[in-house]
A and B are shown apart, each in its own frame.
Chain A
Amino acid sequence: MSASQKAVELADHLARAASEGRGVQPITALDPAITEKEAYDVQLVTIQRKIQEGRRVVGKKIGLTSLAMQKLLGVDQPDYGHLLDDMVVENGGEIPWHRVLQPRVEGEIAFVLKRDLIGPQVTELDVLLATDYVLPALEIVDSRVADWKIALPDTVADNASSGLYVLGGKPVPVDRVDLAQIGMVLYKNGEIANTGVGAAALGSPAACVAWLANKLFEFGIPLKAGEVILSGALSAAVNAAPGDHFRARFAHLGEVSVRFASLK
């Protein structure tokens, strides 16, 4: 599969954000007519490169799962990105500031599958039956686009604004919880930043995973047993600065925390 020259060039453009340590112009400023499909091509070029550099895909993330975010970007469906092995941060760990550009933190429910899920007709029930367990997670979203000035193709091309993620709590089988009603409290530096509930993600986190399986089918990609799936934010993303500590508590699942290193 050879990527189009355009996809390669746009992937190069986004890669400059990491090498220069600052956000770049949105790709929609360079190519206002770019389609969602072409934007996913850019994402796949970047992921292929990382795999060639030795990275491994360990899961997927689903973005734009809340009505508020979809309205903000003028879209009516989520998007997805790839999780690579170097994106995971230990629960309670510290993130060196050089690993992020303009991070924001969200509390989410992570799924680990025991069976592959292959579209195009995956339902919410299929997801529940194929899930090994769920975990509480913090996702540190980040954008390679300066000041988060993103339209849908910008975030799609940018691996759905993936950054880092933290898994915590304890593995809980899905028959123990009502995923749509799981409450979550997100704390920043010990103060409540916001609260959320499972239903914030498309009505139910499992519905997001079903959407992902069906979306991946369009690209011929299976959702595999053992993969980690970040199913979408339960509350609004909170800006992070050096030295900030984040902690999320989830009903039935436990808690997860992370700290951003202070600048020396």
Chain B
Amino acid sequence: MDRATAVSLAEWLIRAEVEKREVTRITERYPELTVEDAYQIQEVLVGKKLEQGYRIVGPKMGLTSRAKMKQMNVDEPIYGFIFDYMVVSGGEISFCDLIHPKVEAEIAFVLGRDVEGPGVTGAQVLAATAHVMPALEIIDSRYERFHFTLPDVIADNASSSRVVFGTTLKRPDELELDLVGVTLSINGELKEMGAGAAVLGHPANSVAMLANMLARKGLKLKAGQTILTGGITGAVMLQPGDVVSARLDGLGSVGFLVRA
């Protein structure tokens, strides 16, 4: 894909996000779009946000559950980037700032040291991790009805939109992260649940795979970055007025309110 096309598609996706409206998926117009093309578009999109003065909080992993990978017919997860403007403070999001948001519960890692692939394993990630904490990720695909193919979602920064971090920080050796039970409730009603192992067998494996994927581009995970490892629960559609809360065994709880 030539650079000019990648730039125009990245700008188009940024506009959709800023103007809070759905757009037709890219592969309708470019059925031949490859995963490599898609990451090129994502790279331009990320570069533009940096130019606008936003800061990267850390990368995030998507499609980390076997069910989602099967559904998308892929054998590798995808990544995107979380920016500072996406981090929710004050425990509230505004529905009118978003298109058709969904929420999922995850475990976030804060790295104490750089992690550089290839060949990184989950154990090495745990050794390099300063803290883990609970997180609620709000995904908001810019595509109509959340319908997309793999290259579409990659170009769209892996549907990244908002994130709410919990305040219970633990060292990773204090927990068996694959056995952490997670429940996601909306307005007090239990909606989705799972255990840490739903993410590639262990959330640390997700970070390791991320480091190895970034290594192909000559990138590494940096000390201080906060990484979203992927949804442990299924994603639930949000509505104005929803009170969202997740509990994670040993990691406390995290929640937010959806303002109209």
Contact = CB atoms under 8 A, between A and B. Distances in A.
Contact of B179 (A67, A178, A185): A185
Given A197-B181, A197-B182, A251-B179, A183 B190 contact: no
B182 A183 contact: yes
Contact count band on B: 20 to 34
Given A183-B180, A185-B178, A196 B190 contact: no
Contacts of A183: 178-182, 194-197, 249
Contacts of A249: 178-179
A195 B176 contact: no
A184 interface: yes
A226 interface: no
Contacts of B170: none
A199 B180 contact: no
A185 B179 CA distance: 7
B197 A192 contact: yes
A199 B183 contact: yes
Interface in A174-203: 178, 180-185, 192, 195-200, 203
B104 to A, nearest CB: 14
Contact of B201 (A182, A192, A250, A252): A192
Nearest to B195: A183
Contacts of B183: 180-181, 197, 199
A200 B193 contact: yes
A197 B194 contact: yes
Nearest to A251: B179
B247 A195 contact: no
A192 to B, nearest CB: 6
A184 B181 contact: yes
Contacts of B248: 181
Contacts of B66: 192
Contacts of B196: 183, 195
Interface in B63-115: 66
B198 interface: yes
Given A183-B179, A251-B179, A251-B180, A195 B194 contact: yes
Contacts of B182: 181, 183, 197
A199 B180 CA distance: 12
Interface string B195-238: 11110010000000000000000000000000000001000000
Given A183-B182, A197-B181, A198-B181, A251 B249 contact: yes
A180 B180 CA distance: 11
A138 to B, nearest CB: 16
Contact of B247 (A181, A184, A192, A252): A181
Contact of A251 (B176, B193, B194, B201): B176
Contacts of B198: 192, 195
Contacts of A196: 181, 193-195
B231 to A, nearest CB: 12
A178 B249 contact: yes
Contacts of B181: 180-184, 196-199, 251
B152 to A, nearest CB: 28
B236 to A, nearest CB: 14
Contacts of A185: 178-179, 195, 197
Given A181-B182, A192-B197, 10 more contacts: A183-B178, A183-B181, A183-B195, A183-B196, A185-B178, A196-B193, A197-B181, A197-B182, A249-B178, A251-B195
- For the complex of A and B, 9 pairs with smallest distance between CB atoms: A183-B195, A197-B181, A183-B181, A251-B179, A181-B249, A195-B195, A185-B197, A183-B179, A181-B181
26 contacts: A181-B181, A181-B182, A181-B247, A181-B248, A181-B249, A181-B250, A183-B179, A183-B182, A183-B195, A183-B196, A183-B249, A185-B195, A185-B197, A192-B198, A195-B195, A196-B193, A196-B194, A197-B181, A197-B183, A197-B249, A199-B183, A249-B179, A251-B176, A251-B179, A251-B180, A251-B181
Interface of B: 66, 176, 178-183, 190, 193-198, 201, 232, 247-250
